[in-house]
Amino acid sequence: MKQTEYQLICGMEVHAELKTKSKMFCGCKNDPFHASKPNCYTCPTCLGLPGALPVANSTAIEWTIKLGLALNCRINLFSKFDRKHYFYPDLPKGYQISQYDLPFCYDGYLETSAGKVRIHRIHLEEDTGKLLHKTVHNQKVSLVDFNRSGVPLIEIVTEPDIKSAAQAKEYAKTLRGILRELHIADCDMEQGGMRLEANISLQAVGTKELPNYKIELKNINSFRFLEQAINYEIERQSQVLQNGEQLNQETRGWNAVQNKTFLQRTKEEAEDYRYFPDPDLPPIRLSTNQIEIIKQNLPELPLERAKRWMSNYHLQPEFATRLSEDTKHAQQLDSLFKLAVNKKFEPSKLANQIVNKKITVNYQNLEATLEEFESLNATATVDDNDLEKIIRQVLAEHQDAVNRYHAGQKQVLSFFMGQVMKNLKVKADPQQVRSTLHKYLDN
């Protein structure tokens, strides 16, 4: 029997906690991961006490719009918060304040190397508390920590444009880069500061009909697991479909030990959250002027930077992309490339060697970096026997320095480097000198 081929249909929902000073709807400190003890950052509002009211954090709203603009979204000038109802002990009010039909941002896109991923919407909501299951006095109990309750949370929802696990990973990583570049989220994956969800189904190649099921992959806390889990699902689902069986709506998780997805729950019927506009929060009206100001203050994003480097310094796309993700050193790298051009060096070669770790950039001293680059690339070939002879000689002359090296003062290495280079009398490849030195010192 002929094997049917399947194409992945995948959309993603990413949650990220915004790092505003205070929580979304109250003045409590927003720092759940560094709290000294449970429930120390709480107040009547984020505990859902009777009569307490929410007041929206305007910085969080501004940041959401910032992200929307960075993702080429359209912005709703009239927006509002809605109540989403469900019962869970970590949700103190019995509803989550979220956005239903008028999210702040919609209809954007994010570029990946495999094509555009359209952004369906970005909305702002509040995070829940956290349940801790413990044994206290030999009794199994569930405790609730509300430090995270009310932390601003954005949800970024894509269209089902993702065609491979690798693209999903690239999308998520790029998104994290943007969130960090904008200084609006730390995206600590392990702590749950950024949470990934993928909605996955398969379509038989050649058919136009969209699949009639959707598997939700939830609670993925690393990019690698995301890629592995999607690939696993492609395998699993195509086998089920190949056997002529049906796939149903369900939620699955990723078991990183067994390297497979597992069933979390099946959806018997559609959930009904009974959304309605939160009467405690007046609708939000924004002017085109406000949006324009936010737009003008957007920093350069990694992707834009990569493009600029490619056109200005002729960096190869691969290296430009890699280096552009280092948002912390973006400015210094920019200066470094400019300096390189002035000195008639090739920035693309420099970028290549930085990415391949042949050169470590000294961000305090860019000139020194270029000197290293120069010496690395302008070398004479040194005979291994000559080199080893000189090394033995240098080490013998500086026994005390050797002792210090063995006592842990590894920085002594650069002293030896200098001595050896000096004695060689020619411009040797520092890489060659360094590795030979290591051979002698570390044995």
Partner 1 sequence: MNDLTTLTLADTIQALRDKKFSLSELLSSYRSVIEKHNQKLNILLTTTLDNHPEQLDSPLAGSPLVVKDNISTKNIQTTAASTVLDGYRPPFDATIIHRLYQAGASIIGKSNLDAWAHGSSTETSQYGRTLNPRNPDYLPGGSSGGSAAAVAANMCAAAIGTETAGSIRQPAAWCGVVGLKPSYGRVSRFGVIAMASSTDSPGPITKTVEDAAILLNFIAGHDHHDSTTSSQSAPDFTTNINQSIKNLRVGILYQGIKGLEIVDPHLQKVGQVLESLGAQVDSVSAMDPKLAISVYTVVQRGEVSSNLARMDGVRFGNDRSYFGDEAKRRIMLGTYTLSKGYADQYYNTAQKVRTLFIEDFKKLFKKFDVLISPTSPSFAKKVGATADAAMFGELEDMLLEPSSITGLPGINVPCYQDKKTHLFLGLNIVAPMWREDLVIKVADAYEKATSWNEWRNKA
Binding site for partner 1 (CB under 8 A): 44, 47-56, 83, 85, 87, 89, 92-95, 144, 270, 272, 274-276, 279-282
DSSP for 136-169?
ETTEEEEEEE-TTTT-EEEEEEE-S-B-SHHHHH
- Alpha-carbon distance of 239 to 246, in angstroms, equals 11
Between the alpha carbon of residue 32 and those of residues 55, 207, 218, the distances in Å are 20, 48, 22
Taking the least distance from each CB to partner 1, the nearer of 82 and 227 is: 82
Taking the least distance from each CB to partner 1, the nearer of 94 and 317 is: 94
Taking the least distance from each CB to partner 1, the nearer of 100 and 109 is: 100
Least Å distance, CB 51 to partner 1, is 4
Partners of 170 in the beta sheet? Answer: none
Least Å distance, CB 11 to partner 1, is 22
Least Å distance, CB 218 to partner 1, is 22
Taking the least distance from each CB to partner 1, the nearer of 277 and 299 is: 277
Residue pointed to by tokens 């690798």? 166
Taking the least distance from each CB to partner 1, the nearer of 131 and 293 is: 131
Least Å distance, CB 129 to partner 1, is 10
- Alpha-carbon distance of 222 to 198, in angstroms, equals 12
Least Å distance, CB 282 to partner 1, is 6
User: In the chain, what's the furthest Cα-to-Cα distance?
Assistant: 84
CA proximity to 103, closest of 133, 129, 130, 73: 73
Least Å distance, CB 268 to partner 1, is 15
Partners of 194 in the beta sheet? Answer: 16
Least Å distance, CB 20 to partner 1, is 17
Taking the least distance from each CB to partner 1, the nearer of 132 and 263 is: 132
Could you tell me whether strands 276-277 and 260-266 are parallel, antiparallel, or unpaired per DSSP bridges? unpaired
Residue 287: both structure tokens together? 């002017």
Residue 78: both structure tokens together? 């009239």
Taking the least distance from each CB to partner 1, the nearer of 83 and 305 is: 83
CA 13 to chain CA mean position, Å: 14
- Alpha-carbon distance of 90 to 145, in angstroms, equals 8
Do the beta carbons of residue 411 and residue 437 sit within 8 Å? Answer: no
